[in-house]
Amino acid sequence: MSLVATYHLDTPVYDPFFERVSDLRLEIEQVAACAPDTLLMTFWAETDHWPAFEAELERSDTATMIRHLRSEDGRERCQLRLPASTTTYWDWTAVGGVLLASTVTRHGATTRMEFPDQEALRTYRERCSERGMGFSLSSLTDAGTGSDRRSQPLTPSQREIVALAVERGYFEVPRRTSMVELAAECGISDQAASERLRRGLSNLLESGVFDTLWAPASRGTPKVR
């Protein structure tokens, strides 16, 4: 049975961006090979300093922005090209790895990837080590546990602010924290925080995750199981 690994990986190819845009957060959706030596990466970029990020891309000797797709929740969906040699793309595809999710910050990349078996994961880890990229495994589970959109309806950034809002008492009456304070803790603007929280709650409701908590009782009154 295949395995889903969550791991942290050093990402030197992105380091120049974070030197000047420390709050930058990249949520990678897809990576595909345009040619043996060139990759096309589709991602969501989040920062309060977008002009600085664009300036870094223009100065970059490796990554090249080719398309801005759309804006949503204070984020920008974009595509760029970068050399395959600066990534581990061919290393994980060679062993049958399938990218599930990856979030890149100034601390490195946190990635979820499905591997055919432990041998494939071991081989990939060794290749990362040979390339001088620090690899740290966080968790390993059977892919057959049924992880899907329903069980994980939120993006990492949405999950962060929803959990923070609950922890800080944002939904309590009276509220124990404000949107300004939540935004400050997440390192984003008030508007971006509000949009992200709204989108996260909307995704939770649309995913049906609350169906496991509520069931119809007599006369349509909600009943906790």
Our measurement of the distance from residue 77's CA atom to the centroid of its chain's CA atoms, rounded to an integer in Å, reads 13
Cα(151)–Cα(153) distance, integer angstroms: 6
Least Cα distance to 155 among 2, 29, 19 occurs for 29
Confidence of residue 216 (pLDDT cuts 50, 70, 90): very low
Using the predicted structure, report yes or no on whether residue 131 has a pLDDT greater than 60.
yes
Which pLDDT does position 145 carry in this prediction?
61
Our measurement of the distance from residue 185's CA atom to the centroid of its chain's CA atoms, rounded to an integer in Å, reads 18
pLDDT digits (tens, 9 = 90+) for 100-124: 999 988 888 899 999 999 999 999 9
pLDDT digits (tens, 9 = 90+) for 12-43: 878 888 888 888 899 999 999 988 999 999 99
Using the predicted structure, report yes or no on whether residue 87 has a pLDDT greater than 80.
yes
pLDDT digits (tens, 9 = 90+) for 136-174: 888 888 887 644 444 456 777 788 888 889 888 998 888
Using the predicted structure, report yes or no on whether residue 49 has a pLDDT greater than 60.
yes
Partners of 197 in the beta sheet? none
Which pLDDT does position 153 carry in this prediction?
64
Using the predicted structure, report yes or no on whether residue 210 has a pLDDT greater than 90.
no
Our measurement of the distance from residue 104's CA atom to the centroid of its chain's CA atoms, rounded to an integer in Å, reads 7
Cα(170)–Cα(174) distance, integer angstroms: 8
**Alpha carbons within 13 A on the beta-carbon side of 112:** 14
Least confident of 54-68, 74-88, 115-129: 54-68
